Copies of this chain bind each other. A is one copy, B any other.
Amino acid sequence: MASLGRSIDELMQALRCLPGVGPKSAQRMTFHLLDKQRDGAQRLLDALAQALDKVQPCQRCQILSEQTLCERCSDPQRRQDQLCIVEMPSDVIAIEQATHYQGQFFVLSGHLSPLDGIGPEALGIPKLLTWLDSGQLEEVILATNPTVEGEATAHYISELVRARQIKVTRLAHGIPLGGELEYVDSGTLSHAFSGRESI
């Protein structure tokens, strides 16, 4: 009889869809929500219901938004000739916090992964192609993750962009700021060495 009833078991199971949450954390979260944090649980319930109801991908750039067209896409002040392609909505926030980039974004919501059945359609590439064909763009910045899948996705998109005579750039690779050289992985170090810049 190591169970506390169906609603509690179901909540534990449901919490496991969160990234990084295993059985132990789910159990801890469940007791915390139902026992100590009932106000917090009610707030989470309301926020989740509201977000699920209101938030959907922007029709143009696929970022999560409360409007059909997100704030960035409907802002006429932003540059229309630059497009930065990222994997996740959080990458948009990271880039905005770190840079002064004022162009457009396109969120793939993932990377090409044929084994998981994620092809160009799932990433919204057809929509991207329409955008590339619109003639507005002068530069496409590829800012996918520096992983094997991210690089493959960037390569795939770069071919499509280049075929339309649009300039395509990629975030610079090299050693990150801070830290020590001996702890930089060999792939990065080799990349930074062969791509050394004159000063």
Majority SS of interface residues in chain A?
Answer: helix
> Is A115 in the interface zone, CB < 8 Å from B?
no
Knowing A18-B33, A19-B28, A29-B18, the reply to whether A4 touches B65 (Cβ < 8 A) is yes
Residue of B nearest to A46 (CB): B14
Interface size on A, residues (CB 8 A): 63
A31 touches B64 (CB 8 A): yes
Q: A2-B93, A2-B96, A64-B4 are in contact. Are A43 and B14 (CB under 8 A)?
A: yes
**Bound complex: CA A4 to CA B56 (Å):** 11
- The yes or no answer to A148 lying at the interface (CB within 8 A) is no
Q: Is A13 an interface residue (CB 8 A)?
A: yes
Q: Let me know if A72 is at the binding interface, CB within 8 A.
A: yes
Contact A11 B45 (CB under 8 A): no
User: Number of copies of this chain in the oligomer?
Assistant: 2
> How many angstroms from the CA of A92 to the CA of B2 in the assembled complex?
8
Q: Is A55 close to B, CB under 8 A?
A: yes
Determine how close the nearest CB of chain B comes to the CB of A1; give it in whole angstroms: 7
A129 lies within 8 A of chain B by Cβ: no
Return the CB mask of A86-112 against B: 1 if under 8 Å, else 0.
Answer: 001110110011000000000001100
Residues 67-91 of A, flagged 1 when their CB comes within 8 A of B and 0 if not, give: 1001110000000000000001110
